[in-house]
Chain A
């Protein structure tokens, strides 16, 4: 099972594991990572699972599709490494991925 390191808004770190085949969002939700709300449950329609993926890991991910990019524009403080965690499927190759949780999510 890949390990995911979430860096919280206060700078602290939470490391969790989640089965490959689930999403980065599900890893956050099942482990109750503060700041990841994931309201819609993975349908890519709420932008409340927004995270910043560390650059070293970002280029290992398939780029966001139009739907995700459009959502990210209205996420809270989007940056070049913004992703919706629900659109990031976990694989063993992502073992060790680092994702920063923003201070807020979209309303």
Chain B
């Protein structure tokens, strides 16, 4: 009998697992451990509306305290899990307390990749991952402040847009030859770089940061090419690494994340994992992936919860992502790696267009800029392995859903 389910990690996945477990009738002891001293909250607004001050802190949590009280959830917030003993099915917490479990769900998330160059340990080097990171960044977002963002990915560009909107002078330093180079097509990168430049953000590509300088506090970013940037506020967004330490130390299989199967089971039959920390099979794309995505955290948590209750359920999703930058919405669905064809629908000059990727005639992924219709249609078509007619696909007057 499953008497106790312990969930480590109080983010999107942890919160969703609680919801599913109780909704599906689990009556046993349910413990949620989270190392931040906050009720489970939404992370996407941290680089968007919460950072800009347009969303108050009380709107971040998924649910109020009363939800957890009413559903008999033992919240242990501001508490870390230090050690897991799979043989004894016991977890030791930072409070010294131990919790014995019948099923354990790891929702450990990912943490910011840190700079390693000289000066990286100076004060004033900011990363954006949790609520606690926000006040110091917000305090620096003053009109005229010189903001430098290292990394032209989602977090970097969203933060840059927010800083620019607040009247800061903003430089984005990107190592690759274009922004968001790992996640979008070249013309999408070009579009977003243009949008940022139009708003006054200075984007510098092909540049590698070699050191940070300052007297106790970072004042200057120096690049390999010899150029340097004075800064009042430095924000680093150079990717994330899955949190796997407790899993590795417990002997669970890990490889770019905690290895799970399509049932979200780890290599230990009593331990499951969900969300950004997992390295999991994508059935649609026939490869193992690690995703930083709300949808993936939400859906894997649901799947894991059902499987923990011995209701066999498979995680089979087409991944999707979004980013808000100024008044633009970037919507991405599918995984474009391995495509052999690329078709752009519409004209970027209209500020609304869509890039479609195909492989062997099948629709593989779509990047829709300010175009929710194409994006929603693509979610269905990609799951169905639809094969669009190329002439129709390239014609933006034909609805994407009618191109197949």
A interface, CB within 8 angstroms of B: 22, 26, 29-30, 32, 39-41, 43-47, 66-71, 73-74, 106-107
Q: What are the residues of chain A within 8 A of B331 when measuring CB–CB?
A: 45
* Among B322, B374, B377, B380, contact of A40 (Cβ-Cβ < 8 Å): B322
- CB-defined contacts of B42 to chain A, threshold 8 Å: 41
- Is B376 an interface residue when CB atoms closer than 8 A count as contact? yes
Cross-chain pairs A/B with CB under 8 angstroms, 9 sampled: A30-B63, A32-B67, A41-B45, A41-B62, A67-B329, A69-B372, A73-B373, A74-B379, A107-B379
How many pairs of A and B residues are in contact by the CB < 8 Å rule?
A: 61
B44 pairs with A41, CB closer than 8 A: yes
Which of A29, A41, A73 meets B294, CB within 8 Å?
A41
Chain B residues, CB < 8 A from A22: 59
Closest to A65 in B: B372
Pairs of residues from A and B, 10 with the lowest C-beta to C-beta distance, nearest first: A70-B372, A74-B376, A70-B373, A41-B42, A45-B322, A71-B372, A67-B372, A39-B298, A73-B373, A30-B64
Please name all residues of chain B whose beta carbon is closer than 8 Å to the beta carbon of A106 when the two chains form the complex: 376
A39 x B372 contact (CB < 8 A): no
- Shortest Cβ distance from residue B12 to the other chain A in the assembled complex, whole angstroms: 9
Given A40-B322, A41-B45, A45-B322, residue A71 in contact with residue B294 (CB < 8 A): no
Interface 0/1 of B166-191, CB less than 8 Å to A: 00000000000000000000000000
Q: Does B370 have its Cβ within 8 Å of any Cβ on chain A?
A: yes
Chain B residues closer than 8 Å to A32, beta-carbon distance: 19, 63, 67
Could you say which of A39, A68, A69 contacts B295, with CB atoms under 8 Å apart?
A39
A30-B64, A70-B371 in contact; A43/B324 too (CB < 8 A)?
yes
The chain A residue with its CB closest to the CB of B42 is A41
Q: Chain A residue with minimal CB distance to B322?
A: A45
Is there contact, CB below 8 Å, between B62 and A29?
yes
What 1/0 mask marks residues of chain B from 290 to 321 whose CB sits below 8 Å from any chain A CB?
Answer: 00001100100000000000000000000010
The number of residues on chain B lying at the interface, defined by a beta carbon within 8 Å of a beta carbon of chain A, is 28
Question: When the two chains form their complex, are residues A39 and B377 in contact, meaning their CB atoms are under 8 A apart?
Answer: no
Shortest distance from the beta carbon of B320 to any chain A beta carbon, whole Å? 8
List residues of B (335-385) whose CB comes within 8 Å of A's CBs: 370-377, 379-380, 383
What is the minimal beta-carbon distance from A24 to any residue of chain B, in angstroms?
13
Other 19 A-B pairs with CB < 8 A, given A70-B374, A71-B376, A73-B376: A26-B59, A29-B62, A30-B67, A32-B63, A32-B67, A40-B294, A40-B295, A40-B322, A41-B42, A41-B44, A41-B45, A43-B324, A45-B329, A46-B295, A66-B370, A70-B372, A70-B373, A73-B373, A106-B376
User: Complex formed: what's the CA distance from A29 to B67 in Å?
Assistant: 10
Chain A hits for B19, CB < 8 A: 32
Residue in B45, B59, B64, B380 whose beta carbon sits within 8 Å of that of A74 in the complex: B380
Question: What's the least CB distance linking A4 to chain B, in Å?
Answer: 16
Residue of A whose beta carbon sits closest to that of B368: A70
Residues of A within 8 A of B67 (CB): 30, 32
Q: Does A43 contact B44, Cβ atoms closer than 8 Å?
A: yes
A50 to chain B, nearest CB (A): 12
With A and B bound together, what is the CA distance between A41 and B41 in angstroms? Answer: 10
Q: Hey, which chain B residues are within 8 Å of A47, CB to CB? A: 376
Provide the bound-state CA to CA distance between A103 and B249, in Å.
45
Report how far A66 CA is from B350 CA in the complex, Å: 14
Smallest CB gap from B41: residue in A: A41
Q: Please give, as numbers and ranges, the residues of chain B lying within 8 Å of A41 by CB-CB distance.
A: 42, 44-45, 62, 294
Complex formed: what's the CA distance from A44 to B329 in Å?
10
CA distance A40 to B45 in the complex (A): 10
Task: Report the nearest A residue to B66, measured CB to CB.
Answer: A30
CA distance A105 to B278 in the complex (A): 26
For the complex, give the distance between the alpha carbons of A67 and B377 in Å: 13
Smallest beta-carbon distance B38→chain A, Å: 15
Closest CB-CB distance, A5 to chain B, in whole Å? Answer: 20
CA distance A82 to B324 in the complex (A): 24
Instruction: Name the B residues within 8 Å of A71 (CB-CB).
Output: 372, 376
State in angstroms the CA–CA spacing of A52 and B371 once bound together: 23
| Contact between A29 and B298, CB atoms less than 8 A apart | no
Provide the B259-302 mask, 1 if CB < 8 A to any CB of A, else 0: 00000000000000000000000000000000000110010000
Contacts of B320 in A (CB 8 A): 45
- The answer to whether A39 and B294 touch across the interface, beta carbons within 8 angstroms, is yes
User: Which residue from B62, B64, B372 sits with its C-beta under 8 Å from A44?
Assistant: B372
In the complex, chain A residues whose CB is within 8 Å of the CB of B298: 39
User: Roughly how many angstroms separate A94 CA and B377 CA in the complex, as a whole number?
Assistant: 32
